[in-house]
Structure 1
Amino acid sequence: MTQINPYLNFNGNCREAMTFYQQCLGGKLSLQTVGHSAMAAQVLTEPKECILHASLTRGDLLLMASDMIGPSLVKGNSVTLTINFSSETEIKQTFANLANGGQVIEPLTDMSWGALFGTLTDKFGISWMFNYDKNQM
């Protein structure tokens, strides 16, 4: 196993959320709608513009998402996305971008373990942790 990637589920606003994440994080965004998929003819309950699968890639970052969970979606705090940064400038800018319209839980603070660390919940209800290890080479 080389890595675990987060897969986010939305209820109709996947395109909006993933576009926002691309604006905040950069990278290449790919979106596949139900209507442009091989299963378009079989899917009767989902609108054709719903996102079947989305992926945002930037270097080693891979964030995936979908609208296909439907009405069974329950937002909660069981998943937190953690981003480790390579510069103080990058962590501050990305934190500010993702905090836009969301709620800062812990502002970026110098921690005892030598890192700049903070947490927030974005405007889509997703929890994020930010970490920049100032001692990294």
Structure 2
Amino acid sequence: MKITPYLTFDGQARDAFTLYQKVLGGTLEMMTFAQAPEGERFPAEHRERIMHVCLSLGDYQLMASDTMPGDAACGGGPYEGIKGCSISLHPKSVAESERVFNGLAEGGQVVMPLEKTFWAERFGMFVDRFGVSWMVNCEQA
């Protein structure tokens, strides 16, 4: 069984995943609501929102979509952001940890700077500029 994190955005999925691919690499697949069969049934002002995006990194994937105002992903109300979880990355080197941390944290809020801890060569936490919480954990030098 595989577990794949699926994020929900309020119109920022394209920009978020473009950054994620730039920093993390991988293969990006993206579809707007307008590209879906019967895409014209969606309100014109929301057709360019992302219906589905997938960033594939080897055997792992990160997926997301944009919400439609008032949809079930928002509990039928206004979008309240991504809460209660973090995406955890495990780079293989200190240099890669620093590159990933700095690339994804730019414009966001650092919660814990990337530094040596008793369990890891580098560990840090941040919320990116799209509201996604991340942890970077490099266990080896």
TM > 0.5: yes
CA drift of 1:75 comes to 1.8
Distance 1:76 1:86, change over 3 A: same
Given that 2:52 and 2:64 are in contact with CA atoms closer than 8 Å, whether structure 1 keeps it comes out as yes
What is the aligned partner in structure 1 of residue 122 from structure 2? 116
What is the aligned partner in structure 1 of residue 104 from structure 2? 98
Structure 2's unaligned 5+ residue stretches are: none
Q: Matched residues in 2 for 1:76 and 1:35: separation?
A: 24
What is the aligned partner in structure 2 of residue 33 from structure 1? 32
Is residue 61 of structure 2 the alignment partner of residue 62 of structure 1?
yes
TM-score by length of 2: 0.85
Identity over aligned residues, as a percent? Answer: 37
Q: How many residues align?
A: 134
Superposed, which structure 2 residues align to 1:34-53 within 5 Å? 34-44=33-43, 47-53=46-52
Distance 1:115 1:4, change over 3 A: farther
TM-score by length of 1: 0.87
Q: Spell out, residue by residue over 1:55-111, the C-alpha distance to the aligned partner (whole angstroms, 9 max, x if none).
A: 011213311010135342212531111011111111110001011101111111111
Q: Spell out, residue by residue over 1:21-73, the C-alpha distance to the aligned partner (whole angstroms, 9 max, x if none).
A: 11121111111011111241443476221110000112133110101353422
Q: Which contiguous aligned blocks of 4+ residues in structure 1 show a shift greater than 4 angstroms?
A: none
Match of 1:89 among 95, 111, 114: 95
Give the SS at the match of 2:14: helix
Given that 1:9 and 1:69 are in contact with CA atoms closer than 8 Å, whether structure 2 keeps it comes out as no
Give the SS at the match of 1:117: strand
Given that 2:46 and 2:68 are in contact with CA atoms closer than 8 Å, whether structure 1 keeps it comes out as no
Match of 2:132 among 106, 126, 129: 126
Given that 2:113 and 2:124 are in contact with CA atoms closer than 8 Å, whether structure 1 keeps it comes out as yes
Give the SS at the match of 2:46: coil
CA drift of 1:114 comes to 3.6
